[in-house]
């Protein structure tokens, strides 16, 4: 445990972030500060293998190292050695970050709700949303991305003991199902087998009286765009995620007020309004809190609601996925996912690059 202090009073909830490896997380600290400002009495924790690089993090840091890897995960690495090298280990770390959540047990107090956010997730979680989570979810829960995939843009657990229990179950799935080679497939299997609960992300997944939605990716991609690597390094809003289970053209965004009369964000669909608990800022754009920047949000949401794409012409240099992949690693991936399927993936990517 590195550079941590003992709590004297139990917080209302813990926001837990994870950063592993050398890949950049340019808005992590801003997202942590934003989360803390929205939920009274909450605290932030960062699990990282490089705590010395995160001295400005607004909370405690927990040291993580390869010695914390379980035997199950080490066997997974043995089956998928190429993941250590592709994109600087990015795809390996996205899975490992979920399993690494267990080390939070070194610090977190028993009985306190835990909200794990990806480093690019903008939280709008307040007391109302926390109350909903605690009342409705007795085990860990994540949003669904598609029929076969989940997504841990937000990962809720009612306590550290429940979190550790559920992560152990995820490791069991990883050991039993060798087709799982990434975090989203693991989470999808967990949702489909009942290991994890599902946080509603679409209006058709929740009853109107609940009225709270959790963004896996679709809403944030619509408002702020995809990761720039998909758009030639340019941030461009208006992306319609094809995996989402409603027509996003029918969705309108609006600023509303919570029970404390503070501004928050909602979506309107077929005459009903639903609160958003978070936005996944896939484009890594650093966005301001709603309360003090309503003019900005009115302008951004107005553009989205009228179908206007905002484009930032400043090119973002991708330092993760642009790294060359060795032919042996390409072969290993193709052998696992199927050569024809892998060839189709590569062809689609090349065509999209030429079109752009």
User: Position of tokens 């979810």?
Assistant: 137
Domain end marker among 169, 199, 229: 199
Phi–psi pair at 65, nearest 5 degrees: -145, 170
Domain count, the chain: 3
Q: What is the pLDDT of residue 304?
A: 94
CATH (domain of 50): 3.90.550.10
**Least confident range of 201-205, 287-291, 315-319:** 315-319
**Residues contacting 204, CB < 8 A, separation 6+:** 245, 246
Tokens of residue 41, six digits: 């009495």
pLDDT in tens, 120-140: 999 999 999 999 999 999 999
Section 153-171 average pLDDT = 98
One domain for residues 274 and 136: no
Residue 5 lies in a domain: no
One domain for residues 106 and 219: no
One domain for residues 54 and 156: yes
Pairing of strands 311-312, 154-157: unpaired
One domain for residues 61 and 112: yes
One domain for residues 297 and 160: no
Mean pLDDT comparison of 77-91, 254-268, 315-329, highest-scoring range: 254-268
One domain for residues 119 and 227: no
Q: What is the mean pLDDT of the chain?
A: 88
Tokens of residue 274, six digits: 């639903």
What CA–CA distance (Å, rounded) separates 339 from 139? 38
Q: Which 3 state secondary structure label does DSSP give 341? A: helix
**Residues contacting 282, CB < 8 A, separation 6+:** 120, 217, 220, 221, 224, 225, 226, 227
One domain for residues 332 and 210: no
Q: What is the pLDDT of residue 309?
A: 84
Q: Select from 257, 262, 301 the least CA-distant residue to 275.
A: 257
Query: 85 pLDDT band (50/70/90 cuts)?
Result: confident
User: Dmax over Cα atoms in the chain, in whole Å?
Assistant: 58
Section 229-239 average pLDDT = 69
Query: 333 pLDDT band (50/70/90 cuts)?
Result: low
pLDDT in tens, 185-214: 999 999 999 999 999 999 999 977 669 999
Q: What is the pLDDT of residue 356?
A: 33
Query: 352 pLDDT band (50/70/90 cuts)?
Result: very low
Q: What is the pLDDT of residue 58?
A: 98
Query: 348 pLDDT band (50/70/90 cuts)?
Result: very low
Q: What is the pLDDT of residue 355?
A: 36
Q: What is the pLDDT of residue 226?
A: 80
Q: Which 3 state secondary structure label does DSSP give 99? A: helix
Q: End-to-end CA distance of the chain: give it in Å, rounded.
A: 46
One domain for residues 218 and 298: yes
As beta bridge partners, residue 143 has 199
Q: What is the pLDDT of residue 139?
A: 97
Q: In what order do the strands lie in the sheet with 272-276?
A: 212-213, 272-276, 263-269, 252-257
The pTM for the full model equals 0.88
As beta bridge partners, residue 14 has 43, 114
pLDDT in tens, 256-275: 999 999 999 999 999 999 99
One domain for residues 27 and 145: yes
pLDDT over threshold 50, residue 349: no
pLDDT over threshold 70, residue 240: yes
Residue 8 lies in a domain: no
pLDDT over threshold 70, residue 286: yes
Q: What is the pLDDT of residue 98?
A: 98
User: Position of tokens 């052998």?
Assistant: 335
Q: Find the length of the chain.
A: 356
Query: 2 pLDDT band (50/70/90 cuts)?
Result: low
pLDDT over threshold 70, residue 39: yes
One domain for residues 117 and 246: no
Q: What percent of the chain has pLDDT over 90?
A: 73
Q: What percent of the chain has pLDDT over 70?
A: 82
Whether 200 and 212 have beta carbons less than 8 Å apart is answered as yes
What CA–CA distance (Å, rounded) separates 213 from 99? 25
One domain for residues 282 and 189: no
Q: What is the pLDDT of residue 312?
A: 65
Residue 40 domain boundaries? 14-199
Whether 308 and 222 have beta carbons less than 8 Å apart is answered as no
């Amino acid at each position: 445990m590195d550079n941590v202090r003992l709590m004297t009073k139990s917080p209302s909830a813990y926001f837990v972030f994870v950063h592993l490896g050398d890949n950049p997380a340019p808005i992590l600290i801003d997202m942590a500060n934003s989360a803390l400002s929205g939920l009274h009495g909450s605290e932030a924790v960062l699990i990282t293998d490089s705590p010395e690089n995160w001295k400005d993090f607004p909370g405690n840091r927990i040291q993580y190292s390869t010695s914390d890897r379980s035997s199950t995960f080490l066997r997974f690495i043995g089956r998928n050695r190429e993941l250590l090298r592709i994109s600087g280990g990015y795809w390996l770390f996205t899975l490992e970050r979920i399993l690494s959540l267990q080390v939070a047990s070194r610090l977190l107090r028993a009985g306190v709700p835990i909200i794990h956010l990806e480093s690019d997730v903008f939280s709008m979680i307040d007391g109302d949303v926390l109350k909903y989570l605690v009342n409705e979810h007795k085990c860990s829960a994540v949003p669904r991305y598609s029929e076969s995939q989940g997504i841990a843009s937000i990962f809720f657990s009612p306590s550290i003991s429940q979190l550790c229990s559920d992560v152990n179950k995820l490791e069991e799935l990883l050991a039993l199902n060798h087709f799982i080679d990434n975090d989203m497939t693991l989470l999808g299997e967990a949702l489909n087998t009942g290991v994890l609960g599902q946080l509603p992300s679409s209006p058709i997944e929740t009853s109107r009286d609940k009225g709270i939605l959790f963004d896996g990716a679709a809403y944030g991609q619509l408002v702020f765009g995809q990761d720039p690597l998909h758009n030639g390094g340019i941030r461009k809003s208006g992306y319609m995620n094809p995996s989402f289970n409603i027509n996003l053209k029918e969705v309108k965004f609006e600023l509303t007020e919570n029970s404390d009369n503070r501004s928050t964000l909602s979506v309107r669909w077929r005459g009903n309004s639903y609160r958003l608990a978070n936005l996944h800022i896939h484009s890594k754009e650093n966005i301001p809190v709603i309360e003090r920047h309503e003019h900005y949000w009115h302008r951004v949401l107005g553009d989205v609601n009228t179908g206007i794409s905002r484009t930032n012409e400043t090119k973002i240099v991708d330092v993760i996925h642009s790294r060359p992949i060795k032919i042996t690693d390409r072969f290993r991936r193709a052998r696992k996912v199927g050569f024809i399927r892998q060839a189709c993936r590569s062809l689609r990517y090349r065509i999209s690059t030429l079109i752009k």
